[in-house]
Structure 1
Amino acid sequence: MQNIKVLIVDDSAFIRKMLRDLLEIDSSIQVVAAVKNGKEAIEYIQSNPVDVITLDVEMPVMDGIETLKEIMRVKPTPVVMLSSLTKEGAEMTFKALDLGAVNFLAKPTNIFKISSSTDIQDNIIEKVKEASKVRVSKITTIRPRDSKIINTQPNIMSTAMKDSEVKKIVAIGTSTGGPRALQEVISNLSGDLPAPVLIVQHMPKGFTKSLADRLDSISRVKVKEAEDNEILENATAYIAPGDRHLKIEAVSKNKYRIRLDDGPNVSGHKPSVDALFYSLCDVPTNDIITVIMTGMGADGAKAMEQLKVIKNSTTIVEDESTCVVFGMPKSAIATGKVDKVLPLNKIANELNKMLGV
């Protein structure tokens, strides 16, 4: 098996050395070069084979966004962005994901934690390995709709729909490639959706609020980061915070609230799709639709299968043809409990149709 050839792009010599030392702990990864700016990176990839690029967002000469654009133009390659844990850093990260980056890593405030925390080290190695399996053509061809078109009438939600009882629930789970997939699906949902939408996107703390704000600005349903004890409303999408499990419990008939749980990882993640789906096994309503989209691993498959047995829920899974990574959908399909397998651009319409809008 060939090593994963990695190019590190960062203006800090200290970070370049730290990343090199960290990545090469794993025998399957080979850092073939470490360069200090985007210009050097473009020159390198034009004459040398590279499987994955780690790219700092903030750099002189060419910043990360401009470098990413040029990489995708000259030689499309899986890119993992390194981003600061700030609002501005999060906004730049989502812009990078729009432009074709596979994933991102949040730089800790104390940079020395990278070399001292095994969790951070394992996360970086895992993200690079994930990126090496991504088909970049899928990244570059899946484009979110133009927000200017959608923004002409954002959050069109009737008062009656907002205040009505919750009788149906939609739950979505996604990981690698998820932010772009969510843009496609959530922005195309009806503003009169007679159900709340619960979303688990594998993402670190500090980024899920920015994701919610971004989706809210281009969608007809309201989109927000979930809050503990919040009562669910129809035509509203709730995104699990990056460091909490999102669970649902009944308050009374057709009334539900969110519980945010700081318990251990479930299926290797927090937030976890399985944790959300398992919680839905205990709610009174049987009218539940689950959706599993692009992502590495198997999170969501076990609980989806159990939910199907207990509630006879309906499950939609993203087709391999549009997945950035087919892991989570493939694991769901393997259970034999999936109802529909659809390309990304057909999922929102199917949800609208199933919910009668």
Structure 2
Amino acid sequence: MASYNILVVDDSVFMRKIISDLISENPQFKVVGTAKNGQEAIEQAKLLRPDAITMDIEMPIMNGLEALQRIMREQPTPVIMVSSLTQEGAAETIKALEWGAVDFIRKPSGSISLDLYKVKQLLLEKLQIAVRTKVRGIQPDNAQGAVQQTAATAAIKSTTTVSPSKPAASVKSVNPGSSHFEHIVAIGTSTGGPRALHQVISQIPAGFPAPILIVQHMPPNFTKSLAQRLNDISQIRVVEAAEGDILQTATAYVAPGGWHMVIGKEPNRTYKIRLTKEEPRSGHRPSVDVMFESLLGVPELKRHVVIMTGMGSDGAKGMLSLKQSGCSTTIAEAEETCVVYGMPRAAVESQAAMLVLPQQEIAGRIARCVLQDG
């Protein structure tokens, strides 16, 4: 007997049938309804109260992004976005993840059985996570900014002299960053990460005197869109990392999908990004553990590392090794703000985390550690 009810939303009859069939192959799930546009999805979500929804992005009348926002305000439900592999599709998917979607899958082609098999496995895995996720509703756009004016934000403002009236773009243009620094920050995250990164990176002040390394479990194309989106909403510069990039302050580097990202030290005490195609670690490339372990080779820097929401345990071993080697700060996101309390739980249970903080306090603590040197 099915344990979880799923609503499938797509404007294509063919795609609704494919996705419904893939879901129904697992006896735990039952497709209780379908919808062909965002407006129908909102109505069906209220009527059927499904345990999870698969949501196409491009649809007539009302698209998936608009429907997602309405559902997360009016009937908060775990949503998995069904995304195309195009650059535009990737950018829209990042927005959806920021606005409350639990995760995404790429749209199946329907023409190659192997392709469908891979999509089915991912879809069922992500649905297993989604139906167990306690989603948090979102506030209307005009209220959300007020909600985010937390004590952490106030702490950051107290540590920087940059005028808050200056637009982020102008601050970035006059403060390109320096290759000389004493601190480095590294953040690892997975499911729920784009929304968490939006919260944290958007609160890092302009002129931040350290580089930030980010590993988000995500395929190619999507990591580039994630970096672009974070750059748009942040006071610091955010880029997708490239081989040989010289690390600079006031800059965050997102590991590209499909590549491990590590730090390399040059003789003149500059530091560079190194990308490798070594085997995935715990099923992941990029891997948080691989990034964290590379920081063991730079003990002269004050290292501050963070693990946020995500499935599994990637990063916990690397964080513990860093703590044992004299790392300045190790932070795990608290369970109450995680979409999935997997990676942070592993860090806490292994006693790798010095601090356990809710998402909204992480940026403030990083700022105090770096700007006030302690």
Q: Alpha-carbon deviations, 1:194-239, whole Å to 9, x = none?
A: 2110001111211111111111122221110000121111221000
Aligned to 2:33, the other structure's residue is in SS state: strand
Find the partner of 2:322 among 307, 311, 326: 307
Greater mean alpha carbon deviation, residues 195-204 or residues 305-314: 305-314
1:208 maps to 223
Greater mean alpha carbon deviation, residues 341-350 or residues 20-29: 20-29
1:336 maps to 351
Q: TM-score by structure 1 length? A: 0.89
**What 5-or-longer segments of structure 1 have no aligned partner?**
none
1:92 maps to 92
1:103 maps to 103
Q: Is the 8 A contact 2:10 2:55 kept in 1?
A: yes
Q: Is the 8 A contact 2:72 2:137 kept in 1?
A: no
Q: Alpha-carbon deviations, 1:52-106, whole Å to 9, x = none?
A: 1000001123211222233224321111111112232223223322332222223
Q: Is the 8 A contact 1:155 1:222 kept in 2?
A: no
**What does 1:192-341 correspond to in 2, within 5 Å?**
192-252=207-267, 254-341=269-356
Whole-Å Cα distance in 2 between the matches of residues 81 and 351 of structure 1? 31
- What is the letter of the counterpart of residue 126 of structure 1? E
2:50 maps to 50
1:136 maps to 135
2:17 maps to 17
1:262 to partner: Cα distance: 2.0
Whole-Å Cα distance in 1 between the matches of residues 46 and 194 of structure 2? 29
Report the CA distance shift for 1:67/1:218 in structure 2 as closer, same or farther (over 3 A): closer
Greater mean alpha carbon deviation, residues 40-49 or residues 205-214: 40-49
1:305 to partner: Cα distance: 1.1
1:111 to partner: Cα distance: 4.7
- What is the letter of the counterpart of residue 135 of structure 1? K
Report the CA distance shift for 1:111/1:222 in structure 2 as closer, same or farther (over 3 A): farther
- What is the letter of the counterpart of residue 24 of structure 2? E
Aligned to 1:321, the other structure's residue is in SS state: helix
Whole-Å Cα distance in 2 between the matches of residues 86 and 239 of structure 1? 19
What is the aligned-residue RMSD (CA, Å)? 2.7
1:171 maps to 186
1:121 to partner: Cα distance: 2.5
Report the CA distance shift for 1:113/1:305 in structure 2 as closer, same or farther (over 3 A): farther
Aligned length: 354
Q: Alpha-carbon deviations, 1:142-182, whole Å to 9, x = none?
A: 95769xx8872337369788234233211001112211111
Report the CA distance shift for 1:115/1:19 in structure 2 as closer, same or farther (over 3 A): farther
Q: TM-score by structure 2 length? A: 0.86
Report the CA distance shift for 1:254/1:65 in structure 2 as closer, same or farther (over 3 A): same
1:125 maps to 124
- What is the letter of the counterpart of residue 226 of structure 2? L
Whole-Å Cα distance in 1 between the matches of residues 58 and 173 of structure 2? 42
Q: Is the 8 A contact 2:57 2:63 kept in 1?
A: yes
1:64 matched to 2:64? The reply is yes
Q: Is the 8 A contact 1:143 1:180 kept in 2?
A: no
Report the CA distance shift for 1:116/1:346 in structure 2 as closer, same or farther (over 3 A): closer
1:81 matched to 2:96? The reply is no
Whole-Å Cα distance in 2 between the matches of residues 257 and 263 of structure 1? 18
Q: Is the 8 A contact 2:334 2:356 kept in 1?
A: yes
Report the CA distance shift for 1:229/1:140 in structure 2 as closer, same or farther (over 3 A): same
2:155 maps to none
Whole-Å Cα distance in 2 between the matches of residues 42 and 305 of structure 1? 44
Report the CA distance shift for 1:151/1:331 in structure 2 as closer, same or farther (over 3 A): farther
- What is the letter of the counterpart of residue 192 of structure 1? G
Whole-Å Cα distance in 2 between the matches of residues 67 and 51 of structure 1? 16
2:160 maps to none
Report the CA distance shift for 1:61/1:150 in structure 2 as closer, same or farther (over 3 A): farther
Q: Is the 8 A contact 1:52 1:78 kept in 2?
A: yes
Report the CA distance shift for 1:102/1:355 in structure 2 as closer, same or farther (over 3 A): same
Aligned to 1:297, the other structure's residue is in SS state: coil
Q: Is the 8 A contact 1:151 1:217 kept in 2?
A: no
- What is the letter of the counterpart of residue 120 of structure 1? V
1:252 to partner: Cα distance: 2.2
**What 5-or-longer segments of structure 2 have no aligned partner?**
150-163
Whole-Å Cα distance in 2 between the matches of residues 45 and 138 of structure 1? 14
1:341 to partner: Cα distance: 1.2
Whole-Å Cα distance in 2 between the matches of residues 155 and 26 of structure 1? 52
Q: Is the 8 A contact 1:150 1:219 kept in 2?
A: no
Whole-Å Cα distance in 1 between the matches of residues 112 and 275 of structure 2? 27
